[in-house]
Amino acid sequence: MKLLAGNSNLPLAQAIAGYLEIPLTRASVRRFADEEIFVEVLENVRGEDVFVLQSTSYPANDNLMELLIMIDALRRASARRITAVLPYFGYARQDRKPGPRTPISAKLVANLVTVAGADRVLSVDLHAGQIQGFFDIPTDNLFAAPVMSADVATRYGEHNLMVVSPDVGGVVRARALAKRLGNAPLAIVDKRREKPGESEVMNIIGDVRGRFCVLVDDIVDSAGTLCNAAGALKAAGAEGVVAYCTHGVLSGGAVSRVENSALTELVITDSIGNHDLIAGAAKIRHMTIAPLIAEAIRRIAEEASVSSLFN
Say yes or no: 24 and 130 in one domain.
yes
Distance CA 56, CA 90 (A): 5
Say yes or no: 84 and 161 in one domain.
no
Would you say residue 251 has pLDDT above 60? yes
* 127 marked as part of a ligand binding site: yes
Would you say residue 103 has pLDDT above 70? yes
Would you say residue 199 has pLDDT above 60? no
Say yes or no: 83 and 200 in one domain.
no
When computed from its CA atoms, the radius of gyration of the chain, rounded to whole angstroms, is 20
Q: What are phi and psi of 151, to 5 degrees?
A: -70, -45
Say yes or no: 58 and 6 in one domain.
yes
Quick one: pLDDT at residue 200? 67
Please state whether the predicted TM-score (pTM) of the whole model is above 0.85.
Answer: yes
Would you say residue 193 has pLDDT above 70? no
Q: What percent of the chain has pLDDT over 90?
A: 87
Mean pLDDT of 117-141: 95
Quick one: pLDDT at residue 168? 85
Mean pLDDT of 222-226: 90
Say yes or no: 218 and 252 in one domain.
yes
Say yes or no: 23 and 133 in one domain.
yes
Residue 59: asked if its preceding bond is cis (omega within 30°), the reply is: yes
Quick one: pLDDT at residue 92? 94
Would you say residue 195 has pLDDT above 80? no
Distance CA 124, CA 296 (A): 11
> How many other CB atoms are found less than 10 A from the CB of residue 5?
23
* 140 marked as part of a ligand binding site: no
Would you say residue 91 has pLDDT above 80? yes
Say yes or no: 138 and 80 in one domain.
yes
Distance CA 188, CA 191 (A): 9
Would you say residue 28 has pLDDT above 80? yes
Give the helix/strand (H/E) hosting 141.
strand 139-142
* 298 marked as part of a ligand binding site: no
Distance CA 91, CA 97 (A): 13
Quick one: pLDDT at residue 201? 61
- Residue 269 class from Cβ within 10 Å (0-12 exposed, 13-18 middle, 19+ buried)? buried
* 139 marked as part of a ligand binding site: no
Domain of residue 109: give its range.
2-143+291-310
Could you confirm whether 191 is annotated as catalytic? yes
Helices (H), the chain: 10-20, 60-76, 105-116, 145-156, 171-180, 224-235, 254-259, 290-301
Say yes or no: 178 and 203 in one domain.
yes
Distance CA 42, CA 97 (A): 42
Say yes or no: 19 and 127 in one domain.
yes
Mean pLDDT of 45-56: 97
Average pLDDT in the chain: 94
Say yes or no: 138 and 150 in one domain.
no
Closest CA to 75 of 115, 132, 42: 115
Quick one: pLDDT at residue 203? 86
* 217 marked as part of a ligand binding site: yes
In degrees to the nearest 10, what's the CA dihedral of 297, 301, 303, 308? Answer: -20
- For 271-302, how does the pLDDT look when each residue is reduced to its tens digit (9 = 90+)? 999 888 888 899 999 999 999 999 999 999 99
Say yes or no: 194 and 277 in one domain.
yes
Quick one: pLDDT at residue 55? 97
- For 11-27, how does the pLDDT look when each residue is reduced to its tens digit (9 = 90+)? 999 999 999 999 999 99
Catalytic pick among 179, 191, 195, 283? 191
Q: What total number of domains does the chain contain?
A: 2
Say yes or no: 116 and 87 in one domain.
yes
69-78, 166-175, 224-233 — which one is most confidently predicted on average? Answer: 69-78
CATH of the domain at 105: 3.40.50.2020
Quick one: pLDDT at residue 197? 58
Mean pLDDT of 29-36: 93
